[in-house]
Amino acid sequence: MSKEKVVLAYSGGLDTTAIIPWLKENFDYEVICCCIDCGQGEELDGLEERAKLSGASKLYIENIIDEFCDDYIIPCVKAGAVYENKYLLGTSMARPVIAKKLVEVARKEGAVAICHGATGKGNDQIRFELGIKALAPDIKIIAPWRMTDIWTMQSREDEIEYCRQHGIDLPFDAKHSYSRDRNLWHISHEGLELEDPANEPNYDDLLVLGVTPEKAPDEDEYVTMTFEAGIPKSLNGKEMKVSEIITELNALGGKHGIGIIDIVENRVVGMKSRGVYETPGGTILMAAHEQLEELVLDRATYEVKKDLGNKFAQIVYEGKWFTPLREAIQAFIDVTQQYVTGEVKFKLYKGNIIKAGETSPYSLYSESLASFTTGELYDHHDADGFINLFGLPLKVRAMKMQEIENQKK
């Protein structure tokens, strides 16, 4: 009789490599590894050999970079989704598409379970599992780090020793380094000196995608971008797909020290955590998109969109991508993006994105209205009546307070 199958979200790192023999030993599953390429840039060569050597029967390498960009990143850019004023959701956005792919592979293989290596303290366990529950409620989820009765490994040394005992002798390093998550949009760093918010980050050791503003060039650099219906279409006059634009912007942003944030954020599980995120291209793309939106969105729509953008960020951060609420807010956002078309120009200089002009065929900016000369659409006398009515509640209340004060005398 053939064994039941489990699909393991596999990175090739020590944690997920140790999980392969552990799954076989404790559950007697056939292990199918699935490596999801979201643009993490790491060498994927040799991964198949490593997975097979570790006891997996098969390895899928799924390149989802364009799907990630078009269907997950762009909705967040359109929404202006930023969590707690700083975090551009790099890890959060990738988790639902990874969950979707894991489910697809599980269905194809007829697997009964999906296993992930996320810890029991973080957000990722929630994001993976909510995605899997929403798409495949019948599939069992295995989270080794929460199964402390049978997952007894506490350190990298323990994991290396466990692998050795099971005939897996790979060149893993036992030393603790930053805990990192990388994809096309960003790289996050946690651990080491960052665990104490009193410590300044050691940026020389830390940064992967760029330099600090202090080390950026002393010359500025101009950039132009075009958008159609909220979607970036060209960079410096060259039309490219979204993933290529982000790749180019990453290089530009990294060079000029853009998009480095140091944040103490509130995790979904209730604790605060401190991390440093590098999002060079994403920071530029969000700023360029907002620069164009200022020109074309009316005040009332812009106001509601800001509120819903915050809500959207929270939904994505909490792993609730595959929900009616996310779909409904995204539908609203898409309507607001209908006319977010035009060109923006800005310059990059030592960590700054400095606006240098924007144009749109749908611009709501009227030079004759905004100038100090009186245009035919605007009669200064109309402001008298408007201010009287707009200020009426304030005036009525002030009169009432005055009356009460006078009665006390």
Within-domain flag for 321: no
Within-domain flag for 314: no
> At how many degrees (to 10) do helices 299-317 and 324-336 cross?
150
Distance CA 88, CA 73 (A): 10
Q: What is the token pair recorded at 234?
A: 């060209």
Distance CA 79, CA 312 (A): 7
Identify whether 177 is a catalytic site residue: no
| pLDDT at site 189 | 97
The model carries a pTM of 0.95
b (16+ CB within 10 A) / e for 2-34: eeebbbbbbbbebbbbbbbbbbbeebebbbbbb
Dihedral, 295, 86, 102, 139 alpha carbons, nearest 10: -110
Same domain membership, residue 148 and residue 21? yes
**In whole angstroms, how far apart are CA 196 and each of 76, 264, 300, 325, 351?**
30, 10, 42, 36, 25
Identify whether 179 is a catalytic site residue: yes
| pLDDT at site 266 | 98
Within-domain flag for 366: no
Same domain membership, residue 184 and residue 154? no
| pLDDT at site 170 | 86
Domain that holds residue 31: 5-165
Same domain membership, residue 118 and residue 26? yes
Same domain membership, residue 238 and residue 123? no
Catalytic residue among 57, 179, 273, 363: 179
Query: Which CATH number goes with the domain that contains 23?
Result: 3.40.50.620
Same domain membership, residue 150 and residue 20? yes
| pLDDT at site 373 | 67
Identify whether 95 is a catalytic site residue: yes
Catalytic residue among 15, 37, 70, 262: 15
Same domain membership, residue 204 and residue 139? no
Same domain membership, residue 187 and residue 128? no
Element (H, E) at 43: none
Within-domain flag for 153: yes
Within-domain flag for 313: no
Divide the 409 residues of the chain into consecutive groups of 10 and give the mean pLDDT of each group. Answer: 94 94 97 95 80 95 97 98 98 98 98 96 97 98 97 93 93 86 96 97 97 98 98 98 98 98 97 98 98 98 98 98 98 98 98 98 89 76 95 97 92
Burial class (CB in 10 A: 0-12, 13-18, 19+), 384: exposed
Catalytic residue among 50, 54, 92, 124: 124
Within-domain flag for 311: no
Which residues are registered as beta bridge partners of 74?
none
Within-domain flag for 170: no
Same domain membership, residue 218 and residue 246? yes
| pLDDT at site 375 | 67
Query: Which CATH number goes with the domain that contains 213?
Result: 3.90.1260.10
| pLDDT at site 263 | 98
| pLDDT at site 46 | 81
Out of 165, 195, 218, a domain closes at 165
| pLDDT at site 271 | 97
Identify whether 274 is a catalytic site residue: no
Out of 165, 196, 228, a domain closes at 165
Same domain membership, residue 116 and residue 190? no
| pLDDT at site 374 | 62
Same domain membership, residue 245 and residue 102? no
What is the tally of structural domains in the chain? Answer: 3
Same domain membership, residue 393 and residue 286? no
Within-domain flag for 85: yes
Same domain membership, residue 73 and residue 9? yes
Catalytic residue among 50, 92, 95, 181: 95
